[in-house]
Structure 1
């Protein structure tokens, strides 16, 4: 595998780090995708019929885009982990791996004899990351946890939505991607310890924890006031004006005019509120944010969004457009930072969403997702299996290679444990 993620000396950050990816759905794969984009070599373990996401199709071209985009530039080893020989292959591969990431239900890997305690005897420096709905500890450890449940359980859904009490989930699967990010952070920290000769580590990440850990403002509000925070639409919990406004052309902008920008905002909008004691201080503006929003909305409705944003930015008032997904994939700022990469070889006009870490201006995402079992033969050869042994394993249904997968993606079912974080 090749990488374009480089440090100042031209080397990938995680060059030489091998990651065993035994994941499905989104949280676990996103964790290993981050590591891959940082330069690690990631080998994905798949059941003989393929990861379930291979069968999920989006768009008229009927390609498995969710799988292709989240498993880009990974290797693929197709193996039946329910078989003793299949488990032995995974165990052998783990002895040559620095990191293992899995996101099945608590205890599933241990029941296969592939848990952290099972492997660390032979792999004392192994960094083993488990991602699940509620983690490996606590009364909820055995409960199924998916993104929607995690958003609700973590308290996020109680404060997301409109001011009339209509709840909403976040538009992005934030618990999945958040857990993947926390997993990657934990893995990177544990790798530093392992490479310092202090042994491996077990990293336990939960979707519910990942979102609840972001509740900084809301917990502070609750602790200070004793009042349960409620949905505020686009408004901020501790500052005003800090929300969205609709302009004359129907487009929406967001505004964050804290104390130092308040006077400039009034000048741009040509309104004089200096004698209105409801808005005399930042705290008073926050307390009276509803009537303040009404006054500001009336002014924003008199001109189009581009006019307002140009004037506000010139005055140093923080503001920005409310973009659609179609807007962001062509936005010049994101394009300049290489956040969205066109993979014409595999997807035509489709786009890869990059890992948002810029290093020396180099792109991070590289090749496409692998064909099922593409690397099976090469990996087994590296483990010392000769051609006859590999052929025997294929014939016995222990491993698979591209030529052995006759079933279509649409007919695929999994032979591995169901990911705990399946959406």
Structure 2
């Protein structure tokens, strides 16, 4: 059972966004991550897809044609299939917009305008609509229409070269397999949507939100943004890096005077606290390589578990280098209720809940995945289509899927 916050009554809690309707036109990661967060907090998220379904539906692991990678990003959403290239599909969207609170899209700038579904074209339908556009470089400017995926943005933002500067002896940038830009931008979009909803609650009007992946990634390089403006003497060795043990590596973070002093006790050199090379922070940076050589002279004599035990005893922040599988098996994850079990056509799988808990609201993933187009009929009926018109939509969907 997951942890609960002191004072809450989980059985009687509602969700923060109960009653909120979101139209989700987004694909891959950034937009779906944003709307998954809204869904976990109770929003009714209607995911609009083509008859083939979005590309993430084929990403492994796939069981019985059901992707758990897709499920991680889209659990809790309703699924509606529409052909946005048809006048009927666009008209259906316009009717849905009249009922919605939020719209999220992450097409390349210009796509929604060509479909006549951009903010300028629909704001009169629903003046209270919060319309969030996520793109690589922003909705306007010389780079706006360039194609962009997370690895490209990692390179364009300077992030990869900033990361490389901390790798001694390295000159070639790393390969990219973990898409920080997508997840970070999705989280920023979520924050912007919630801010706009609060503003609407006081002013009554919606607005357009323009979220840039490039600027989102730049926000990770806090020090480098300043170092790029002013000359700063580099350290001889990265401030945070692995120390070697007799059977592996441990990360140690020396981020305060107390941490430094405690670490010197652990390694058996309490006199280094007053050593002219290390006593003052600026001098310590200058002599970082010598300091870490001294730390590793101790750490190489013990195994990883003994190293961590000694560091934890003195309150030095540290961790072994774990795989994701190992991290998910941490008892702390179970205590927090960080994983939720979801059912789909392939069985069950686990997804991460949002990384926060609230004393006055329920925050958790839904229990099952919607099938592709599962809710198309009910929403078409809600917006006033006749049975014949709904049948026509279904026939067109089959035709599109076969072509």
TM-score (norm 1): 0.85
Q: In the alignment, which of 187, 191, 194 is matched to residue 181 of structure 1?
A: 187
Cα 1:20/1:33, change in 2 over 3 Å: same
Q: How far is the alpha carbon of 1:303 from its aligned partner?
A: 0.8
Which whole-Å CA distance do the structure 2 matches of 1:297 and 1:137 have between them?
A: 51
Which whole-Å CA distance do the structure 2 matches of 1:357 and 1:256 have between them?
A: 27
* Greater mean deviation of Cα atoms: 198-207 or 14-23: 198-207
Q: Residue 80 of structure 2 contacts residue 373 of structure 2 at CA under 8 Å; is this kept in 1?
A: yes
Q: Residue 45 of structure 1 contacts residue 77 of structure 1 at CA under 8 Å; is this kept in 2?
A: yes
1:100 aligns with 2:103: yes
Cα 1:279/1:226, change in 2 over 3 Å: closer
Q: In the alignment, which of 45, 54, 57 is matched to residue 57 of structure 2?
A: 54
Cα 1:176/1:266, change in 2 over 3 Å: same
Q: In the alignment, which of 85, 89, 114 is matched to residue 86 of structure 1?
A: 89
1:384 is matched with 384
Gaps in structure 2 of 5+ consecutive residues: none
* Greater mean deviation of Cα atoms: 183-192 or 162-171: 162-171
1:142 is matched with 145
Cα 1:21/1:287, change in 2 over 3 Å: same
Cα 1:363/1:204, change in 2 over 3 Å: closer
SS of structure 2 residue aligned to 1:355: coil
Q: How far is the alpha carbon of 1:62 from its aligned partner?
A: 6.4
Q: Residue 163 of structure 1 contacts residue 231 of structure 1 at CA under 8 Å; is this kept in 2?
A: no
Cα 1:288/1:298, change in 2 over 3 Å: same
Cα 1:182/1:374, change in 2 over 3 Å: same
2:364 is matched with 364
Which whole-Å CA distance do the structure 2 matches of 1:230 and 1:293 have between them?
A: 12
Which whole-Å CA distance do the structure 1 matches of 2:328 and 2:61 have between them?
A: 17
* Greater mean deviation of Cα atoms: 275-284 or 140-149: 275-284
1:421 is matched with none
Q: In the alignment, which of 151, 167, 170 is matched to residue 165 of structure 1?
A: 170
Cα 1:186/1:257, change in 2 over 3 Å: closer
SS of structure 1 residue aligned to 2:169: coil
1:14 is matched with 17
2:268 is matched with 270
Greater relative CO, 1 or 2 (CA 8 Å, sep 6+)? 1
Q: How far is the alpha carbon of 1:19 from its aligned partner?
A: 0.4
Runs of 4+ that moved beyond 6 A: 6-9, 59-62, 229-232
Cα 1:385/1:168, change in 2 over 3 Å: same
Q: How far is the alpha carbon of 1:405 from its aligned partner?
A: 8.8
Q: How far is the alpha carbon of 1:170 from its aligned partner?
A: 5.9
Q: Residue 246 of structure 1 contacts residue 300 of structure 1 at CA under 8 Å; is this kept in 2?
A: yes
Q: In the alignment, which of 111, 115, 129 is matched to residue 114 of structure 2?
A: 111
Show CA shifts across 1:245-266 (max 9, x none).
1211224333335212222111
1:245 is matched with 243
SS of structure 2 residue aligned to 1:214: coil
Q: How far is the alpha carbon of 1:91 from its aligned partner?
A: 0.8
Which whole-Å CA distance do the structure 1 matches of 2:38 and 2:267 have between them?
A: 47
Q: In the alignment, which of 191, 194, 198 is matched to residue 197 of structure 2?
A: 191
**Cα RMSD over matched residues?**
2.7
1:326 aligns with 2:325: yes
1:317 aligns with 2:307: no
* Greater mean deviation of Cα atoms: 274-283 or 36-45: 274-283
Q: Residue 72 of structure 2 contacts residue 352 of structure 2 at CA under 8 Å; is this kept in 1?
A: yes
Which whole-Å CA distance do the structure 1 matches of 2:400 and 2:142 have between them?
A: 43
Which whole-Å CA distance do the structure 2 matches of 1:37 and 1:230 have between them?
A: 43
Which whole-Å CA distance do the structure 1 matches of 2:307 and 2:252 have between them?
A: 11
Q: Residue 44 of structure 1 contacts residue 75 of structure 1 at CA under 8 Å; is this kept in 2?
A: yes
Q: Residue 30 of structure 2 contacts residue 185 of structure 2 at CA under 8 Å; is this kept in 1?
A: yes
SS of structure 2 residue aligned to 1:343: strand
1:255 aligns with 2:262: no
Q: How far is the alpha carbon of 1:333 from its aligned partner?
A: 1.3
Cα 1:62/1:328, change in 2 over 3 Å: farther
Q: Residue 245 of structure 2 contacts residue 300 of structure 2 at CA under 8 Å; is this kept in 1?
A: yes
SS of structure 1 residue aligned to 2:132: strand
Which whole-Å CA distance do the structure 2 matches of 1:169 and 1:208 have between them?
A: 18
SS of structure 2 residue aligned to 1:81: coil
Which whole-Å CA distance do the structure 2 matches of 1:349 and 1:159 have between them?
A: 40
Q: Aligned residues, how many? A: 392
Q: How far is the alpha carbon of 1:301 from its aligned partner?
A: 0.9
